[in-house]
Homo-oligomer: A and B are copies of this chain.
Amino acid sequence: MPYELYYWPEIQGRGELVRLALEEAGADYVDVARLPDGEGGGVSALMAFFDRTDIARPPFAAPFLKDGVVVIGQTAAILLHLGDRLGLAPPEPTGRLWVHQILLTVLDLVGEVHDTHHPLGGHLYYEDQKAEALRRAEDFRTQRIGKFIRWFETILERSEPAGPYLLGEAVTYADLALFQVVEGLAYAYPLSFSAALAEAPRVAALRRATAERARIKAYLASERRIPFNEQGIFRHYPELDSA
């Protein structure tokens, strides 16, 4: 039975971390809300799920994954589950936990990126909180991007065996997530991020190595890969960026 991923069909968002894991593993999966409405897809399929009263353990929000009868919400929990099943995390407990810790830190960064354009919350349009976004983005550019990227560079530098991935030769879901956030920052904050990335050669090498993996390369070139856009988490608003 294929995995069923439920996520917003128009954006990469947090769901992209799950898509990348499924794609890298060549897993059989359905991206439910990207199917036509007539085939049980669309946003309506996603929303209808939240109205169901027969799910003992309902998710709080998207993304969530159906694996047979098990429904799993929270990106980090989905990847913990898939990491074991798809061979994208080491079986040894300490390494498995380390991969999870890195993923959680990537997710913190993703959350901060979101907050740069929505500092007052998701109930207002960007245009209605633009002045606040300018202030928040300045903090993000000057204080946060560098701090995160330096940490990723440090853990790659200290890793044994050395790269290109976080645990050496074997790719994990944390590598895919780091690749995604690097792609997203390069799209959303090209000016400020290029400076940070220039000082993180190992992060840049991980990005290149991931993009060249056969299944990831095919995925990125396919129509399954939704382009970055200004409805997602990584939005390119030139007024928020600065060299």
Contacts and interface: CB of A to CB of B under 8 A. Distances in A.
Interface of A: 55-60, 70, 72-74, 76-77, 80-81, 94, 97-98, 100-101, 104-105, 108, 111, 115, 119-124, 132, 135-136, 139-140, 143-144, 148, 151, 154-155, 158-160
Nearest to A140: B121
A93 to B, nearest CB: 8
Contacts of A77: 97, 100-101, 104
B81 A97 contact: yes
A108 to B, nearest CB: 8
Contact of A73 (B73, B94, B101): B101
Contacts of A140: 121
A74 B101 contact: yes
Contacts of A154: 58
A146 to B, nearest CB: 13
13 contacts: A58-B158, A60-B105, A60-B108, A60-B151, A76-B104, A80-B80, A115-B115, A119-B120, A120-B136, A120-B139, A121-B135, A121-B143, A122-B139
